[in-house]
C-alpha cells in the first residue's frame, strides 16, 4: 500500500453493546492524545474506526457494507481501522476480503492503536488481535471528558460459554479491573461532570477485587464504595448473569440509595430444556427466585431481560413457557432476538435449527407481550414523584430529556440544564417515554 499523510481527523463508529461504546470512547481519547481531532458532524474524517459487534449475523455483514461506503467525495478512501469483536473473530478474513482496511485491532489490543497507526501511515497493513496479559487500561490516557452519564468498564470477558454466544471467544476470559484503578477512573469521570456511572461487564456481577484496606469485595462492595463519592448521584450496572447474583448484591438494592432501582438480568428462555441446551446453568425457577428476592429488597425495582427465540430444538411448548415466564415477571423493558447461528459456537451445529418464518412469528408474539408489559409499567408510573437526571435537550424548545430512576426516558419543560437532577411528577405515559412536570424547588 502507498504511504499516506498522517491523519488530522478521526471518527469512531460503534455498533455494539455498551462496552463496545465505552471502547469506542476510549479509542477516541487515545487518538485525540496523538493530536488527531474528532471530525466534525458531516465532515469526512481522515481516519475511520469501525468498532464492530459480532453477536449476530447482520452486525458482521454491516461491517463489509460500511467499508464499501467509506469512499470520499474525491474518490479516495480514508484510513480504515476495523476494531471490536468482528475484528477479533474474523480479522484475517477482513484483511483478505477488504483490501482498503489498513488496521485490524481486537477489543483487548486497542491501546496499541497509535503504534499501529504509525505503521499504517508507512503503507503497512497491520493486525493485532492479541489478548495481552497486561491490561490495556494501564496504557490508556486518563479520562478528561464526560457527559452527565458515563460508562465504566469494571469487568471484561466471560467464562460462561452459553452455547449460542461468541463473547467468550471475542472478549476472552473473565477479568476484573483493580479497585484503585476503578476508583481513579470514577473520580476522573465525576470531575469531568458525570453524575451517573453505569458499571459495565459482560458478567458485571462476577466482578471481584480488594478494596483500599485489602478486604476481598464483590460488586456490592465496589458499589458501596463508589456511593461514598459525594458528587456521584446515581449508580447502575449491567449486564448480570443470574448465577452471580450474590446475596450481598441483592441486599445492596435495598441498602444503597444511589443504586438505581433497575436490574437487567437476562434469562434468554422460559423452558428448562432450552436453558439446559443453552448451557445457561440456571433454571426458570432459580431465576424467578432471584427476582423475588430482589423485589423483596427493593419493591419498586424495574426489571429488564434478554430473550432469544428459535433456539435449535425449541418447540411450540417451549416457546409458550417463555411467554408464561414473561407474564409472571412483568418486565419494565426487555431485548429480544432471533437465534443467530454464530460460527464456532456449539449451537450453530445443533440439530433442530428452525426456519426463519417460525422465528419471525415467535419474535412477534414475544415482542407483543413485552411491549404490553412495558406500556403497563410506564402507566403504573403515572402520578409518581421522582428525580430525573437531564441528559440532553428534547425535541421542542425549552424541553429536556432525561432518565427516571427506573431508566425510563422522561421529557419535561423547565429552565434547568444538562446534568441537573430535577424532581418531577410523571404525568403522561407512552410506550417508550413519559412526560413530566417539574416541582417548584430543585434538588
Interface of this chain with ligand SF4, residues 201 to 220, rule: CB under 6 A: 202-203
Q: Write out the binding residues for ligand SAH, residues 200-229 only, by CB under 6 A.
A: 202-203
Q: What is the DSSP string of 334-384?
A: EEEEE----TTSGGGG-S-PPPHHHHHHHHHHHHHHHHHHHHHHHHHTTT-
Size of the site for ligand F3S (CB under 6 A): 13
Which is nearer to ligand SF4, 49 or 265 (by Cβ)?
265
Residue position matching grid coordinates 448451557: 279
Interaction between residue 24 and ligand F3S (CB under 6 A): no
Q: Are 152 and 185 in contact (CB under 8 A)?
A: yes
Q: Residue 227 CB, nearest distance to ligand SAH (Å)? A: 24
**CB neighbour list of residue 260: distance below 8 Å, 6 or more residues apart:** 196, 234, 235, 236, 405, 406, 407
Of 117-125, 149-157, 162-170, 181-189: span binding ligand SAH (CB under 6 A)? 162-170
* Cα 354 from Cα 342, distance rounded (Å): 14
CA distance 262 to 82: 34
Which one-letter DSSP state was computed for residue 406?
T
Tell me how long the chain is. Answer: 443
* Strands 333-338, 302-309: pairing kind: parallel
Residue 89 in contact with ligand SF4, rule: CB under 6 A: no
Contact between 50 and ligand F3S (CB under 6 A)? Answer: no
Query: In terms of C-beta distances under 8 Å and separation of at least 24 residues, what long-range contacts does 390-397 make, across chains too?
Result: 390/148, 390/416, 390/417, 390/418, 390/419, 390/420, 390/421, 390/422, 391/147, 391/148, 391/149, 391/418, 392/418, 393/418
Which of these ranges, 160-168, 244-252, 281-289, 356-364, lies near ligand SAH under the rule CB under 6 A? 160-168
240 vs 374, beta carbon nearer ligand SF4: 240
Residue 11 to residue 21: CA distance in whole angstroms = 13
Residue with Cβ nearer ligand SAH (114 or 337): 337
Residue that is written with C-alpha cell 478494596 in the block = 211
**64 touches ligand SAH by CB under 6 A:** no
337 binds ligand SAH (CB under 6 A): yes
Distance CA 223, CA 214 (A): 16
What count of Cα atoms within 13 Å lies in the side-chain half-sphere of residue 363?
Answer: 18
List 12, 17, 109, 189, residue binding ligand F3S (CB under 6 A): 17
Q: How far is the CB of 219 from ligand SAH (least distance, A)?
A: 14
Nearer to ligand F3S, 342 or 362 (CB): 342
53 contact choice in ligand SF4, ligand SAH, ligand F3S, none (CB below 5 to 8 Å, kind-dependent) = ligand F3S
Comparison of 36 and 55: residue with beta carbon closer to ligand SF4:
55
167 binds ligand SF4 per the rule CB under 6 A: yes
| Strand-pair partners of 209 | 217
Among 171, 338, 342, 411, binds ligand F3S (CB under 6 A): 171
Among residues 241, 282, 362, 411, which is the contact residue for ligand SAH, using CB under 6 A? 241
Which segment (13-21, 116-124, 231-239, 390-398) binds ligand F3S by CB under 6 A? 13-21
Instruction: Tell me, residue by residue from 42 to 61, as one string, x for binding to ligand SAH by CB under 6 A and - for no binding.
Output: -------------xx-----
Q: What's the DSSP call for residue 177? A: P
From ligand SAH, ligand F3S, ligand SF4, none, interface partner of 411 (C-beta below 5 to 8 A by class):
none
- Does residue 165 interact with ligand SF4 by CB under 6 A? yes
Shortest Å distance, C-beta 164 to ligand SAH: 4
Distance of alpha carbon 232 from alpha carbon 222, whole angstroms: 14
Cα–Cα dist 183/419, whole Å: 21
- Burial readout 174-193 (b: 16 or more C-beta within 10 A, e: otherwise): bbbbebeebbebbbbbbeee
203 near ligand F3S, judged by CB under 6 A: no
Q: Does 239 bind ligand SAH (CB under 6 A)?
A: yes
Report the residue from 59, 85, 167, 275 that binds ligand SAH according to the rule CB under 6 A. Answer: 167
Q: Can you tell me the distance from the alpha carbon of 29 to that of 114, in angstroms, rounded to the nearest whole number?
A: 11
In the list ligand SF4, ligand SAH, ligand F3S, none, the entry touching 342 (Cβ below 5 to 8 angstroms by class) is ligand SAH
C-alpha of 230 from chain center: 26
Which window, 65-73, 157-165, 328-336, 424-432, contacts ligand SF4 (CB under 6 A)? 157-165
Residues at the site binding ligand F3S, with contacts judged by CB under 6 A:
16-17, 19-20, 53-55, 84-85, 166-167, 170-171
Residues at the site binding ligand SF4, with contacts judged by CB under 6 A:
158, 160-162, 165, 167-168, 202-203, 241
Amino acid at each position: 500500500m502507498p504511504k499516506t499523510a498522517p491523519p488530522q481527523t478521526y471518527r469512531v463508529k460503534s455498533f455494539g453493546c455498551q462496552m463496545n461504546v465505552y471502547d469506542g470512547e476510549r479509542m477516541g481519547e487515545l487518538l485525540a492524545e496523538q493530536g488527531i481531532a474528532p471530525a466534525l458532524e458531516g465532515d469526512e474524517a481522515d481516519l475511520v474506526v469501525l468498532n464492530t459487534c459480532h453477536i449476530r449475523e447482520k452486525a458482521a455483514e454491516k461491517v463489509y457494507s460500511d467499508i464499501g461506503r467509506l469512499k470520499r467525495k474525491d474518490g479516495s478512501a480514508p484510513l480504515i481501522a476495523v476494531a471490536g469483536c468482528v475484528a477479533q473473530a474474523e480479522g484475517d478474513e477482513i484483511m483478505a476480503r477488504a483490501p482498503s482496511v489498513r488496521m485490524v485491532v481486537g477489543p483487548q489490543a486497542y491501546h496499541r492503536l497509535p503504534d499501529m497507526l504509525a505503521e499504517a501511515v508507512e503503507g503497512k497493513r497491520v493486525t493485532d488481535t492479541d489478548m495481552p496479559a497486561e491490561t490495556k487500561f494501564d496504557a490508556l490516557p486518563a479520562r478528561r471528558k464526560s457527559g452527565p452519564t458515563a460508562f465504566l468498564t469494571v469487568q471484561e470477558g466471560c467464562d460462561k460459554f452459553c452455547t449460542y454466544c461468541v463473547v467468550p471467544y471475542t472478549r476472552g476470559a473473565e477479568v476484573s479491573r483493580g479497585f484503585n484503578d476503578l476508583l481513579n477512573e470514577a473520580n476522573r469521570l465525576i470531575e469531568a461532570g458525570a453524575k451517573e456511572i453505569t458499571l459495565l461487564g459482560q458478567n458485571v456481577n462476577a466482578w471481584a477485587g480488594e478494596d483500599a484496606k485489602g478486604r476481598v469485595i464483590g460488586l456490592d462492595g465496589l458499589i458501596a464504595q463508589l456511593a461514598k463519592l459525594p458528587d456521584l448521584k446515581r449508580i447502575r450496572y449491567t449486564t448480570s448473569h443470574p448465577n452471580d447474583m450474590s446475596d450481598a448484591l441483592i441486599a445492596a438494592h435495598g441498602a444503597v440509595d444511589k443504586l438505581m432501582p433497575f436490574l437487567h438480568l437476562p434469562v434468554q428462555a422460559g423452558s428448562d430444556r432450552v436453558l439446559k441446551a443453552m448451557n445457561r446453568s440456571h433454571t426458570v425457577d432459580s431465576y424467578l427466585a432471584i427476582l423475588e428476592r430482589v423485589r423483596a429488597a427493593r419493591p419498586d425495582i424495574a426489571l429488564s431481560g434478554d430473550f432469544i427465540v428459535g433456539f435449535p430444538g425449541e418447540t411450540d411448548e417451549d416457546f409458550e413457557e417463555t411467554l408464561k415466564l414473561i407474564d409472571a415477571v412483568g418486565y419494565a423493558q426487555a431485548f429480544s432476538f432471533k437465534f443467530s447461528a454464530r460460527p464456532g459456537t456449539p449451537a450453530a451445529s445443533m440439530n433442530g435449527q428452525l426456519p426463519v418464518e417460525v422465528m419471525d412469528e415467535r419474535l412477534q408474539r414475544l415482542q407483543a407481550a413485552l411491549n404490553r408489559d412495558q406500556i403497563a409499567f410506564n402507566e403504573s408510573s403515572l402520578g409518581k414523584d421522582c428525580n430525573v437526571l437531564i441528559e440532553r435537550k428534547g425535541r421542542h424548545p425549552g424541553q429536556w430529556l432525561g432518565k427516571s430512576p427506573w431508566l425510563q426516558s422522561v421529557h419535561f419543560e423547565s429552565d434547568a440544564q444538562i446534568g441537573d437532577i430535577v424532581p418531577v411528577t410523571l404525568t403522561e405515559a407512552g410506550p417508550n417515554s413519559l412526560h413530566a412536570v417539574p416541582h417548584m424547588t430543585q434538588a
